[in-house]
Amino acid sequence: MVQQVTREQFDEFMVPVYAPAPFIPVRAEGSRLWDQQGNEYIDFAGGIAVNALGHAHPALREALAEQAAKLWHTGNGYTNEPILQLARQITEATFADKVFFCNSGAEANEAALKLARKYAHDQSDGDKSQIIAFNNAFHGRTLFTVSTGGQPAYSRDFAPLPPQIDHVTFNDLESVRAVMSEKTCAVIVEPIQGEGGVIPASPAFLQGLRTLCDQFNALLIFDEVQTGVGRTGDLYAYQHYGVVPDILTTAKALGGGFPIGAMLTTARIATHFTPGTHGTTYGGNALAGAVAGCAFSLINTPEMLAGVKHRHALFVAQLDELNHHLGLFRDIRGMGLLIGCELNEAHAGKAKLISQRAAQEGVMILIAGAGVVRFAPALNIPEEDIREGLSRLKRACEALIAEGAL
């Protein structure tokens, strides 16, 4: 007899860095999931902005199964066809000439930061090392990326941290100018701060960063791990802003649910990484390349991207309606299918509570800090699922209000 798997086993066997929901999803299709008890959930979380084409997409399943029968992994002593095809797709669709593949967003940012340091050191006497980052930013959990991120709660327990990283105020060009100099090697920024509360950069801010980086011969790194691959309604957010970075990182939606990350850059900058300077065993494996290649070709179409903008409008109109009745949010913001609702003062700090109750009512949502409810559903989520999911969310909020918890 097969032993029953239960949520209690998480607390028994797993290093407690997460506090997962009390139920265990076992099956999913499109934008709906079912748990062990057969309860249904509408998925507005998308596996944290990852499942860009929903669950169990037929084309992705086929790409995975087909590649699984051929070749999984060789290590980087050999290249493979799927990853070369993906690299061509990405470079044709973006500013980049060159791609480095890895397995996660943090690794993509780690590669970007290391490349920026090496690029600077190759042309200076080694003191061009300063990295400028932003308060509340999120760039991953390796020591370098967590130090670059702007949430001390995530980094301070791991000190000593890598030096020469300065944090200034997002959307405030003056605060950047105040610390920037010829010693600046890179500025790293999310075009929309995702984990930090779904806060879009202003166009003038990103444009100003570009100008400052050019002035001080520093590299501009866009962390598009969350905003990339169609999430905002453009393939990458930099295309919406019309500001071209020197290095761009992408992960999350890139594999449509299969782990893969990438760092994109120009040919000129890429020459500063040479054989032996950086690497990863799994990076650019054939399975990830096959699935991501399929996902990329399905997402990078005018119809899919227009569909994201259309769904944004639907989503926000219905959130406005919900808010008109319940008065919970002081701001509804974001781009494409990355949407954040900031709770008003009376309900500040209740985002987690709302997400937990929402799951009980059959809709999975995300939070972005204690005061922002966040949505990052599949880019192809059916309109009916948007309607049904938001009506479940409304029921959850009404129940909390009735109980005096909101």
Ligand X SMILES: *Cc1c(COP(=O)(O)O)cnc(C)c1O
Per the annotation, where are the binding residues for N(2)-acetyl-L-ornithine? 141, 280
Token code pair at residue 60: 């992705």
Q: From the CB of 251, what's the least distance to ligand X, in Å?
A: 5
**Rounded alpha-carbon distances, angstroms, from residue 310 to 313, 331, 337:** 5, 20, 10
Indicate the residue among 284 and 362 with the shorter CB distance to ligand X.
284
Among 26-34, 164-172, 223-231, 346-354, the segment contacting ligand X (CB under 6 A)? 223-231
Applying CB under 6 A, the site for ligand X has a residue count of: 15
The DSSP letter of residue 51 is -
Q: From the CB of 105, what's the least distance to ligand X, in Å?
A: 2
Among 41, 100, 119, 138, binds ligand X (CB under 6 A): 138
223 lies in the site for ligand X, by CB under 6 A = yes
Annotated binding site for pyridoxal 5'-phosphate: 105-106, 138, 223-226, 281
Among 132-140, 330-338, 361-369, 378-386, the segment contacting ligand X (CB under 6 A)? 132-140
Q: How far apart are CA 170 and CA 191, in angstroms?
A: 10
Annotated binding site: 105-106, 138, 141, 223-226, 280-281
Q: From the CB of 257, what's the least distance to ligand X, in Å?
A: 12
Among 24-32, 110-118, 121-129, 136-144, the segment contacting ligand X (CB under 6 A)? 136-144
Are 298 and 92 contacting, i.e. CB atoms less than 8 angstroms apart? no
Q: How far apart are CA 69 and CA 151, in angstroms?
A: 43
Binding string to ligand X for residues 167 to 206, with x set by CB under 6 A, is what?
-----------------------x---xx-----------
Q: From the CB of 190, what's the least distance to ligand X, in Å?
A: 5
| Nearby residues of 194 by Cβ (< 8 Å), 6 or more positions away | 49, 138, 225, 226, 227, 338, 368, 374
Q: How far apart are CA 127 and CA 125, in angstroms?
A: 6
255 lies in the site for ligand X, by CB under 6 A = no
231 lies in the site for ligand X, by CB under 6 A = no
Are 315 and 246 contacting, i.e. CB atoms less than 8 angstroms apart? no
Closest CA to 58 of 66, 70, 47: 66
226 lies in the site for ligand X, by CB under 6 A = yes
Q: What are the strands, taking DSSP E only, across 231-291?
A: 247-250, 261-265
Query: Scanning residues 70 to 109, which ones bind ligand X (CB under 6 A)?
Result: 104-106, 109
Q: From the CB of 252, what's the least distance to ligand X, in Å?
A: 6
**Rounded alpha-carbon distances, angstroms, from residue 200 to 133, 189, 338:** 15, 11, 10
| Nearby residues of 104 by Cβ (< 8 Å), 6 or more positions away | 140, 251, 259, 261
222 lies in the site for ligand X, by CB under 6 A = no
Collapsed DSSP state (helix, strand, coil) of residue 341: strand
Query: Scanning residues 108 to 127, which ones bind ligand X (CB under 6 A)?
Result: 109
Indicate the residue among 105 and 284 with the shorter CB distance to ligand X.
105
Token code pair at residue 190: 């999310």
Q: From the CB of 282, what's the least distance to ligand X, in Å?
A: 13
Token code pair at residue 166: 């300065």
Amino acid 107 reads E
Q: Which residues are near ligand X by CB under 6 A?
A: 104-106, 109, 138-140, 190, 194-195, 223, 225-226, 251-252
